[in-house]
């Protein structure tokens, strides 16, 4: 998510905070999915492989820029794809370790990040907004000089899982022409490279979702924008419900409980976009991880802080299992770059999930 208005309510105390969750998001590896129609919804009968993707890793795991160690850890724990974000703080202002430059053009195949990527067998999900930050400049250079061409040359095509189109474009007002130009340019350079598109969920305290008519209009935009991607899905960060305030396409604008969110969004996307491959972006953080510690203590009541927890191992497994059962071939965990170290929940639960379900 990019800019998310979160309304914190607890014991009569309300706090609204604007939070930038740069997301891009993440990852793609082709899996074979056998489908059959049950009623009006297309559901998979089997999945022969599945990508588990992390959008960054805890600060302590990469602060020394040791990609060899990081990629070995990911591979050993069934994490097959890496989305290189290093942002560890959202509020009061975004902060990053700044290592994103290790994975963008200009680059060389001999750069340490790309060398270690190829050695490890972990694949790269390219953040598309780093490649084409200004949609008006797409296609203004020959394909041979395009930044995407350079990144493919540096990483090697086999080490790239896909590239993300503009994040939550339908919600954030990015034009349809921009996402279409992005998709067309990627296919011009490499028709085999999957383009991912991540959409924002319906948030109950956002003005743009305060009527069924507005929700319906938004979902129509989601459907239209998704034509310019190969793999599509939603950001889903439902824990705790009092902060997340997520409604679903089926809930008529009403907030739903975390155990319903993933299955509702997957059911909708299978019905609305039956010919698209599916992904889901799940919560790999606690909302408090996004804040600078002093700001958090000064601005968020202690009772609220105490109530905001990361997903438990059971909740991580629940969300994953619901997505997998509904045919998501890519499961991306977002926000993991905001965790301070590898012992911070829910990172151990994500690695455990990878060991159990990853390749």
Residue 92 preceded by cis peptide, ω within 30: yes
Q: What is the mean pLDDT for each group of 10 consecutive residues in the chain (359 residues)?
A: 35 32 33 30 42 98 98 98 97 97 97 98 98 96 97 98 98 97 98 98 96 97 98 98 97 97 98 98 98 96 95 98 97 98 98 96
Which residue, among 337, 359, 315, 313, has the nearest Cα to 79 in the 3D structure? 359
pLDDT of residue 50: 82
| CA–CA dist 338, 29 (Å, integer) | 25
| CA–CA dist 359, 73 (Å, integer) | 14
pLDDT of residue 322: 97
**Domain ranges for the chain:** 23-357
80-104 residues labelled b (16+ CB within 10 A) or e (exposed): bbbbbbbbbbbbbeeeeeebeebbb
pLDDT of residue 49: 54
H/E element, 10: strand 3-10
pLDDT of residue 359: 86
- Give the Cα-Cα-Cα angle 245, 250, 254 (nearest 5 degrees): 35
Look up residue 84 and give its DSSP letter. -
H/E element, 43: strand 41-47
Looking up tokens 């899982």 gives: 161
**What is the secondary structure of 158-173 as a DSSP string?**
GGEEEEE-STTHHHHT
- CB 319 within 8 Å of CB 334: no
- CB 155 within 8 Å of CB 124: yes
- Residues 6 or more apart from 167 whose CB is under 8 A from it? 1, 2, 22, 23, 24, 25, 129, 198
Domain at 23-357, CATH from 3.40.50.150, 3.10.20.600, 3.20.20.70, 3.90.550.10:
3.20.20.70
Which residue, among 155, 161, 127, has the nearest Cα to 55 in the 3D structure? 127
């Amino acid at each position: 998510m990019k800019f998310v208005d979160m309304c914190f309510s607890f014991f009569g105390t309300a706090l609204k905070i604007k939070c930038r969750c740069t997301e891009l998001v993440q990852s793609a590896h082709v899996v074979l999915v056998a489908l059959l129609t049950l009623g009006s919804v297309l559901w998979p009968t089997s999945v022969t492989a599945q990508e588990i993707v992390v959008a960054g890793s805890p600060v302590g795991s990469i602060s020394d820029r040791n990609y060899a160690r990081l990629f070995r850890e990911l591979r050993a724990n069934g994490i097959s794809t890496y989305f290189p974000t290093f942002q560890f703080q959202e509020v009061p202002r975004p902060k990053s370790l700044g290592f994103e430059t290790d994975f963008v053009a200009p680059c060389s195949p001999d750069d340490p990040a790309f060398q270690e990527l190829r050695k490890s067998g972990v694949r790269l999900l390219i953040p598309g907004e780093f490649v084409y930050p200004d949609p008006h400049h797409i296609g203004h250079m020959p394909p041979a000089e395009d930044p995407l061409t350079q990144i493919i040359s540096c990483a090697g095509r086999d080490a790239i899982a896909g590239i993300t189109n503009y994040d939550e474009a339908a919600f954030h007002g990015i034009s349809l022409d921009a996402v279409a130009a992005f998709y067309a340019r990627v296919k011009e350079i490499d028709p085999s490279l999957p383009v991912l598109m991540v959409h924002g969920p319906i948030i109950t305290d956002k003005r743009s979702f305060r009527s069924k008519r507005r929700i319906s209009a938004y979902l129509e935009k989601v459907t239209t924008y998704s034509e310019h991607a190969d793999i599509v899905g939603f950001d889903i960060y439902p824990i705790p419900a009092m902060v997340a305030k997520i409604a679903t396409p089926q809930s008529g604008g009403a907030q739903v409980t975390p155990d319903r969110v993933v299955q509702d969004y997957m059911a909708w996307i299978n019905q609305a976009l039956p010919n698209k491959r599916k992904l889901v972006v799940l919560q790999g953080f606690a909302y408090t991880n996004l804040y600078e510690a002093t700001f958090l203590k000064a601005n968020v009541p202690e009772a609220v802080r105490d109530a905001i927890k990361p997903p438990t191992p059971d909740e991580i497994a629940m969300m994953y299992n619901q997505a997998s059962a509904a045919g998501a071939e890519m499961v991306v965990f977002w926000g993991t770059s905001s965790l301070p170290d590898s012992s911070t929940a829910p990172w151990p639960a994500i690695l455990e999930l990878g060991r159990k379900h990853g390749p």
